[in-house]
């Protein structure tokens, strides 16, 4: 135990002596939050439209006015040339083309179905689908107003229909910042675990200081624990910093228990540090380490469900995520922070994280060799 | 009767098909300064790494401080000190912090560590450097510090792998004074070197060539046996016979 304390003290001294790292530890989370939380969003707000109004009727102008009035659309171009509309779409200057053929207003006035054509750039499938949904929303509003004005004229009986009233729970305003911040915090902590601890051990190999340690009676587990603890503490400190910034800058809601959140993060960090030290036990240079660690980090983060809904991943990918600590902690963080889930609600995530932590740490201790 | 603290019988170490140590057999006695000579690549460092529990022998019996090197290297590590060829203390820590770290790792209590630290700083005339980071210190000071740290826990044996490489003559002399003091305290010193004048300071000298021990005796006996003026001559005759003929 005393040996571990001496080793931990040494790690902290070395970190504090490293002018760059000691500053970067606190600067990186700051920048990451400031940049990523507002930047990474799926909200589609400014869909640029090119409108071809061949009808020029009161009805067509009403519809175009509705597009202009919607927060999601902006009528950027109007033209009567299909070629021009097409080239605007090709060159990406507009995201969708709406073609209102002549006779649109006349058909509506006669009570016949009126037709219009909409072409949407769907290179980004998600943006394309959202644009389509918003477009439908605007048009169905337009339809309703036509029906109701028609009904007034005809004084017809009320047409029964179902109306859905929805409420978005846990994030009522559908604020993406609330959704992203818990995930960004996880990425932050992941980077600390993977990059700092793993590189630290490989560096000792490169400069040869590990040889002097290996010839002492230090136990493998003592050495690995002493490499983990400082970065565990730094990771949790960065998490605290990130949460504070999130509260101040983005007024992020925090429904759950702070203690529970840190418990989850601590177990997660042990898992990530275990894997990082396991990889570094294999590597003899920082370059080798970076290459392998980067691979794991990218796979873990992209498959974690931070950017894409976990549920829409193929089944094999969801199964793989059983051993992906990043996926568990992102889910855990969102549940605890936004829903206020208690320990019972997140016990599955905690148990899986603990299992991964034990597994990777055992690997790291086993793989670290004091004797060649 | 001399007491052996290192016993090596038929030690073989292979890296793939390359034989680094070819059937070594020797003993090192308690309290002596044992010189380990050999050209670059003769297998000295491999042998010293096996004796200090950093490498496993391929075959043979190696006992250091009473423990078997194949099966109980971690027990050996409790009883030895080791100073590696490449400087391997922490350069971003101060002199004091390095001493404290290794004192702590070897399980010394805080009072002893403080005493030892003051003692060392005074004896090595290091007091002015106590709170300086190693990175800025001259090589000679670093080597002396590395040696002092290697024996901080008063081990039975200390292994020094080319401790004076690249060090100026004055510092080398001081370093050898430290070796004598250490041996006088009853710590066995096992030292490899390139400098033949240093070999003369050893109680016994072994000469390695191409993985084998080709000579082992006191410097005087070796000089007599090879009819040489100095160990350097002895070394050239036995370690590089073909070169000696050309000369």
Query: Looking at the predicted structure, is the pLDDT value of residue B142 above 80?
Result: yes
Placement of tokens 């090879």 in the chain:
B226
Mean pLDDT lowest among A43-47, A59-63, B131-135: A43-47
Residues 6+ apart with CB under 8 A from A353: A264, A267, A268, A271, A325, A328, A329, A332
pLDDT of residue B244: 47
**What's the CATH number of domain B4-84+144-246, 3.40.190.10, 3.40.190.290, 3.30.70.3150, 3.40.50.300?**
3.40.50.300
B225 touches A at CB < 8 Å: no
- The complex scores an ipTM of 0.90
pLDDT at B154 > cutoff 50: yes
Q: CA A49 to CA A78: how far, in whole Å? A: 8
Per-domain residue ranges of chain A: 47-154, 176-367
Interface test with B, best of A9, A14, A216, A227 (most B CBs within 10 A): A216
Q: In which band, very low, low, confident or very high, does the pLDDT at B192 lie, cut at 50, 70 and 90?
A: very high
Q: How far apart are CA B165 and CA B24, in angstroms?
A: 25
| Domain ranges, ordered by start, for chain B | 4-84+144-246
Q: What is the dihedral of CA A178, A182, A184, A188, to 10 degrees?
A: 150
pLDDT given at position A204: 94
CB-based contact A214 B54, cutoff 8 Å = yes
Instruction: Mark yes or no for CB contact A13/B55 under 8 Å.
Output: no
Kindly report each contact of residues B101-104 with a partner whose C-beta sits within 8 Å and lies 24 or more positions away, as own/partner: B101/A6, B101/A7, B101/A9, B101/A10, B102/A212, B102/A216, B102/B149, B102/B152, B102/B153, B103/B152, B103/B153, B104/A2, B104/A3, B104/A5, B104/A6, B104/A7
d(CA B84, CA B197) in angstroms, rounded, equals: 21
Please indicate whether, in this complex, the C-beta atoms of A215 and B54 are within 8 angstroms of each other.
Answer: yes
Which 3 state secondary structure label does DSSP give B20?
strand
Give B59-102 pLDDT, tens digit per residue. Answer: 999 999 999 999 999 999 999 999 998 899 999 999 999 999 99
Sign of CA dihedral B2, B7, B10, B12: negative
In this prediction, residues A337-350 reach a mean pLDDT of 92
pLDDT, tens digit (0-9, with 9 covering 90-100), for A234-293? 999 999 999 999 999 888 888 899 999 999 999 999 999 999 999 999 999 999 999 999
Using a CB-CB distance cutoff of 8 angstroms, which residues of chain A are in contact with residue B53?
Answer: 215, 370-371
A71 three-class SS: coil
Angle between the A220-250 and A19-39 helix axes, to the nearest 10 degrees? 40
**Nearest CA among B158, B75, B192, B7 for reference residue A371:** B75
Q: What percent of chain B has pLDDT over 90?
A: 74
B53 or A115: which carries more pLDDT confidence?
B53
- Residues whose CB falls within 8 Å of the CB of residue A92, separated by 6 or more in sequence, listed in order: A121
Task: Give yes or no for B16 touching A (CB within 8 A).
Answer: no
The structure tokens listed for A10 are: 């040494």
**Across residues A344-349, what is the average pLDDT?**
93
User: Using CB atoms, which residue from B80, B84, B101 is nearest to A10?
Assistant: B101
The Cα B138–Cα B218 span in angstroms is: 34
pLDDT tens string A89-141: 888 889 899 999 988 888 888 878 888 888 888 888 778 888 888 888 888 88
Chain B interface, best mutation among A217, A227, A369, by max B CB count within 10 A = A217
Q: Given a cut of 80, is residue A168 above it in pLDDT?
A: no
What are the CA-CA distances from residue B153 to residues B117, B123, B187, B194 (Å)?
12, 16, 11, 27
Task: For residue A283, give how far its alpha carbon lies from the nearest alpha carbon of chain B (Å).
Answer: 18
Q: Does B136 touch chain A (CB under 8 A)?
A: no
- Select from B105, B113, B147 the residue whose CB has the most chain A CBs within 10 Å, as the one to mutate to test that interface: B105
Structure tokens at A64: 């175009």
d(CA B229, CA B223): 6
More reliable by pLDDT, A66 or A310: A66
B73 CB within 8 Å of a chain A CB: yes
CA distance B246 to chain A (A): 39
A97: which strand partners? A50, A119
B84 and A18 in contact by Cβ < 8 A?
no
Q: What is the CATH number of domain A47-154?
A: 3.40.1710.10
Helix (H, G, I), strand (E, B) or coil at A56: coil
The three-state secondary structure class of B7 is strand
Closest CB to B88 among A211, A218, A372? A211
Among chain B residues, CA nearest to A207: B88
How far is it, in rounded angstroms, from Cα A17 to Cα A11? 10
| B240 confidence band (pLDDT: 50, 70, 90) | low
Mutate to test the interface with A, among B88, B91, B93 (most CBs of A within 10 A): B88
Contacts of A17 in chain B (CB under 8 A): 92-93, 133
DSSP-assigned letter for residue A158: P
How many alpha carbons lie under 13 Å from residue A281 in its C-beta half-sphere?
24
Identify whether the C-beta of residue A325 lies closer than 8 Å to the C-beta of residue A268: yes
Give the Cα separation of A306 and B158 in Å (integer): 55
Q: Name the residue in chain B with its Cα closest to that of A219.
A: B74
For the cut 50, the answer to whether the pLDDT of residue B247 exceeds it is no
Q: What is the rounded distance in angstroms from the CA atom of residue A322 to the CA atom of residue A315?
A: 11
User: Per-residue pLDDT tens for B103-140?
Assistant: 999 999 999 999 999 999 998 888 889 999 999 899 98
């Amino acid at each position: 135990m005393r040996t571990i304390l001496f080793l931990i003290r040494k790690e902290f001294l070395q970190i504090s002596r490293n002018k760059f790292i000691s500053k970067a530890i606190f600067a990186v989370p700051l920048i990451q939050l400031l940049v990523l939380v507002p930047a990474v969003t799926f909200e589609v707000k400014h869909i640029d439209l090119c409108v071809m109004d061949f009808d020029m009727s009161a009805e067509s102008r009403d519809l175009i006015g509705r597009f202009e009035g919607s927060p999601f659309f902006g009528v950027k171009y109007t033209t009567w040339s299909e070629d021009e509309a097409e080239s605007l779409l090709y060159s990406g200057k507009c995201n969708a083309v709406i073609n209102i053929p002549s006779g649109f207003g006349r058909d509506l006035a006669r009570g016949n179905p009126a037709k219009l054509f909409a072409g949407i750039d769907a290179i980004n499938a998600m943006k394309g689908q959202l644009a389509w949904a918003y477009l439908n929303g605007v048009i169905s509003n337009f339809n309703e107003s036509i029906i109701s004005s028609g009904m007034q004229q005809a004084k017809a009986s009320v047409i029964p229909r179902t109306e859905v009233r929805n409420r978005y729970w846990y994030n009522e305003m559908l604020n993406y910042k609330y959704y992203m911040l818990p995930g960004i915090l996880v990425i932050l902590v992941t980077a600390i675990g993977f990059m700092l601890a793993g590189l630290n051990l490989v560096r000792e190999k490169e400069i040869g200081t590990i040889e002097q340690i290996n010839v002492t009676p230090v136990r493998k587990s003592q050495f690995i624990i002493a490499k983990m603890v400082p970065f565990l503490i730094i990771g949790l400190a960065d998490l605290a910093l990130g949460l504070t910034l999130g509260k101040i800058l983005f007024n992020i809601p925090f429904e759950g228990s702070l203690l529970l959140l840190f418990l989850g993060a601590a177990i997660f960090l042990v898992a990530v540090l275990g894997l990082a030290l396991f990889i570094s036990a294999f590597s003899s240079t920082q370059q080798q380490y970076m290459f392998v660690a980067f691979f794991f980090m990218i796979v873990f983060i992209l498959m974690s469900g931070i950017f894409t809904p976990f549920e829409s991943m193929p089944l094999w990918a969801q199964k793989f995520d059983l051993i992906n600590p990043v996926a568990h902690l992102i889910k855990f963080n969102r549940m605890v922070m936004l829903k206020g889930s208690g320990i019972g609600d997140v016990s599955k995530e905690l148990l899986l994280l603990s299992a991964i932590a034990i597994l990777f740490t055992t690997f790291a201790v086993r793989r670290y060799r004091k004797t060649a | 009767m001399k007491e052996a603290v290192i016993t090596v019988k038929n030690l073989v170490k292979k890296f793939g098909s390359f034989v680094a140590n070819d059937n070594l057999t020797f003993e090192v006695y308690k309290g002596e300064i044992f010189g380990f000579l050999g050209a670059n690549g003769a297998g000295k460092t491999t042998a010293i790494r096996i004796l200090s529990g950093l490498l496993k022998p391929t075959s043979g019996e190696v006992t250091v401080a009473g423990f078997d090197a194949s099966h109980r290297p971690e027990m050996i590590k409790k009883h030895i000190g080791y100073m590696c060829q490449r400087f391997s203390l922490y350069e971003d820590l101060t002199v004091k912090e390095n001493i404290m770290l290794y004192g702590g790792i070897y399980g010394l209590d805080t009072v002893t560590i403080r005493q030892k630290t003051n003692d060392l700083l005074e004896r090595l005339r290091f007091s002015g450097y106590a709170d300086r980071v190693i990175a800025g210190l001259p090589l000679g000071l670093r080597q002396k510090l590395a040696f002092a740290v290697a024996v901080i826990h008063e081990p039975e044996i200390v292994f020094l792998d080319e401790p004076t490489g690249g060090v100026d003559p004055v510092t080398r002399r001081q370093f050898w004074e430290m070796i004598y003091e250490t041996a006088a305290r009853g710590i066995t010193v096992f030292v490899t070197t390139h400098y033949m004048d240093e070999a003369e300071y050893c109680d016994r000298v072994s000469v390695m060539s191409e993985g084998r021990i080709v000579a082992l005796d006191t410097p005087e006996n070796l000089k007599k046996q090879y009819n040489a003026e100095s160990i350097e001559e002895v070394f050239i005759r036995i370690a590089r016979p073909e070169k000696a003929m050309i000369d």
